[in-house]
Amino acid sequence: MKRLVPAEPYNGGVTSAPPSPTTVIRPGPSPARLDFASGIFDYAPAPESVRPEIAGSYGLFIGGTSVDAQGGKRFATTNPATGETISEVAEASAADVDRAVAAARAALPAWSALPGIERGKYLYRIARRLQERAREIAVLETIDGGKPIKESRDVDIPLAAAHFFYHAGWADKLAYAFPGTDPKPVGVCGQIIPWNFPLLMAAWKIAPALACGNTVVLKPAETTPLTALRLAEICDEVGLPAGVVNIVTGAGATGAAIVEHPGVDKIAFTGSTEVGKRIAKAVAGTDKTLTLELGGKSANIIFEDASIDQAVEGIIEGIYFNQGHVCCAGSRLFVQESIADRVTAKLRDRLATLRVGDPLDKNTDVGAINSRAQLDTIERYLRIGRDEGATLHEVNGSALPDAGNWCRPCFFTGVQPSHAIAREEIFGPVLAVMTFRTPAEAIERANNTPYGLAAGVWTDKGSKIFEVASKLDAGVVWLNTYNKFDPTSPFGGFKESGFGREGGRHGLRPYVRL
Ligand code: NAP
Ligand code: MG
């Protein structure tokens, strides 16, 4: 039989040489074993072999160069799977934010005057460079944030590149996006993002802003600054004019300095509803425009006529994907009463097989919790859920590493709508299972939340899909699937999940003046 030899993998920016295509890597004496408790074979370790180059310290990316923070303040970023410090990063003060805003302001006239087709070329170059450096950046994302390598490799980095490709295409077609108008850029955009999809959120923010002729000051989250700084490197590599993209690292105070800066024309924020409300107050009464992508408590609704095995996979994807660090996580499960026992039995079986542990292992399903603080929050909700009288099902027995932040995926049954675990965002791998009898009851209970980011509906009946989906107060409704993203599709919330959309033609709107 003809043997397919893989092409030489691209090794851009990577220190350790990848194995040559003819090398067969054997993991030593086979650690594969039969786990008699669960009746499944465990996999041999499959650690990612590439190690990205990580500097001992990083500066701020302002005006196209790396600069120290004024006063030289720095903070450490750690690997949540090991607790080890990975690198030190500059902590931007209000004065540093002022420098970044000045750089963005200075770059604005030339950048916004550039023909759209020329701006698009830069975006295409960034997209291609992200693809070329994808493996290195995926590993870095996993080391800094704790998510499984299979997710950063297959979801985060490819989608980030896709966002740049997609918006590159819009750069010279804005007049078609908004027919009969003459779209103009908004100006200097202050963008603040969270830690759950660090590079992807940066792409969601920067790509549409640049396509529309704006310049940017972006702040990544304190715990995951490294891939945004790689993106800064790429901006430099592709010759993006200095000051068009500025990256300022820091904590909440750095974000607040961006929000309060009078030279910023627009704020785009993704993060918690609590901070979002504070930002909305700070921006009220100013000339700044604002978009907010906030928290969620999304419902996944399973009807008795659904394909149950498929739905169980959707539940797993909905809440345990990325350790439940997903704003649109399907954290409330509504199961039709007649199938509740079957669904929970299958859920238990499936949950037992999820592999929790080393995020750099290619077989890992659930990685590390992003920070000690987030783990404390999750553990607090586990206690609250038990105290409120719900039943916690901890059926996953993965052996966890000694160091780092870990939470095994789990779910609660016996949950009442009034329970905190049914109302508040936990942002971890914890599912609240509830039941319903009729479609009307499912809709009413799913909508009984201050949030409105996403929902999932599982049924074999097309008419029921459209009936239920049209009555759910959620920005995104997935039908017989969950957590699927595409740059062409607008994403955003209702109610306390925020306003404004990212992606699609709708996502361009906040970045233009018409
Ligand atoms: P967060 O505490 O609100 O932080 C988000 C970002 O805002 C971080 O960069 C943070 O900096 C910064 N920040 C903190 N205080 C600030 C202030 N007073 N002014 C300006 N910026 C400030 O949220 P998180 O805990 O990192 O992220 C989880 C939340 O994000 C969840 O609620 C999740 O649902 C939401 N989220 C929503 C979406 C969406 O599209 N709707 C997507 C992803 C996440 P530091 O991290 O450095 O403190
Ligand atoms: Mg980190």
pLDDT tens digits for range 180-194: 999 999 999 999 999
Is the pLDDT confidence value at 375 over 90? yes
pLDDT number for residue 21: 36
Domain 57-294+497-513 coded CATH 3.10.20.30: no
Domain ranges of the chain: 14-43+296-479, 57-294+497-513
For the chain, percent of residues with pLDDT exceeding 90 = 91
The DSSP code for 108 is H
The Cβ-side half-sphere exposure at 69, using a 13 Å CA radius, reads 20
Look up residue 431 and give its two tokens.
């599912």
Query: What atom of ligand 1 comes closest to residue 220's alpha carbon?
Result: 9
Alpha-carbon span 141 to 133, nearest angstrom: 12
Mutate to test the pocket of ligand 1, among 91, 195, 223, 275 (most ligand atoms within 8 A of CB): 275
pLDDT number for residue 42: 76
Q: Point out the catalytic residue in the list 189, 212, 327, 407.
A: 327
At how many degrees (to 10) do helices 198-211 and 116-132 cross? 160
Is the pLDDT confidence value at 478 over 80? yes
Strands 332-336 and 299-302: parallel
Q: Point out the catalytic residue in the list 151, 293, 317, 502.
A: 293
pLDDT number for residue 37: 54
pLDDT number for residue 26: 32
Distance 83 CA to ligand 2 centre (A): 9
Is the pLDDT confidence value at 36 over 60? no
pLDDT number for residue 43: 85
Residue nearest to atom 16 of ligand 1 (CA): 252
Query: What atom of ligand 1 comes closest to residue 374's alpha carbon?
Result: 25
Query: What atom of ligand 1 comes closest to residue 327's alpha carbon?
Result: 34
Alpha-carbon span 437 to 334, nearest angstrom: 10
Is the pLDDT confidence value at 11 over 70? no
Alpha-carbon span 499 to 179, nearest angstrom: 23
327 belongs to the catalytic site:
yes
pLDDT tens digits for range 81-118: 999 999 999 999 999 999 999 999 999 999 999 999 99
Alpha-carbon span 93 to 231, nearest angstrom: 21
List ligand 1's pocket residues with C-beta within 6 A.
192-196, 219, 221-222, 251-252, 255-256, 259, 270-272, 275, 278-279, 293-296, 327, 425, 427, 453, 493, 497-498
Alpha-carbon span 215 to 191, nearest angstrom: 10
Bridge partners, 289 (sequence order): 266
Alpha-carbon span 310 to 294, nearest angstrom: 29
Ligand found nearest the CA of 247: 1
pLDDT tens digits for range 234-253: 999 999 999 999 999 999 99
pLDDT tens digits for range 453-475: 999 999 999 999 999 999 999 99
15-24, 46-55, 115-124, 146-155: the lowest-pLDDT one? 15-24
The pLDDT confidence band at residue 32, using thresholds 50, 70 and 90, is very low
Just give the CATH number of 14-43+296-479: 3.40.309.10
Distance 40 CA to ligand 1 centre (A): 39
Distance 212 CA to ligand 1 centre (A): 25
Distance 187 CA to ligand 2 centre (A): 31
Nearest to 289 by CA among 268, 270, 273: 268
Please provide the average confidence, as pLDDT, over all residues in the chain.
93
Ligand found nearest the CA of 248: 1
Residue nearest to atom 32 of ligand 1 (CA): 272
The pLDDT confidence band at residue 449, using thresholds 50, 70 and 90, is very high
Is 264 in contact with 189 (CB distance < 8 Å)?
A: yes
Q: Per DSSP, which regions of 275-429 are E strands?
A: 289-293, 299-302, 332-336, 391-393, 410-413
Is the pLDDT confidence value at 17 over 70? no
Distance 18 CA to ligand 2 centre (A): 25
Residue nearest to atom 12 of ligand 1 (CA): 252
Alpha-carbon span 341 to 158, nearest angstrom: 38
394 belongs to the catalytic site:
no
Distance 72 CA to ligand 1 centre (A): 25
The DSSP code for 154 is I
pLDDT tens digits for range 294-344: 999 999 999 999 999 999 999 999 999 999 999 999 999 999 999 999 999
The pLDDT confidence band at residue 7, using thresholds 50, 70 and 90, is very low
The Cβ-side half-sphere exposure at 29, using a 13 Å CA radius, reads 1
Query: What atom of ligand 1 comes closest to residue 491's alpha carbon?
Result: 40
pLDDT number for residue 38: 56
Is the pLDDT confidence value at 210 over 80? yes
Q: Which residue has the higher pLDDT, 42 or 101?
A: 101
Query: What atom of ligand 1 comes closest to residue 427's alpha carbon?
Result: 31
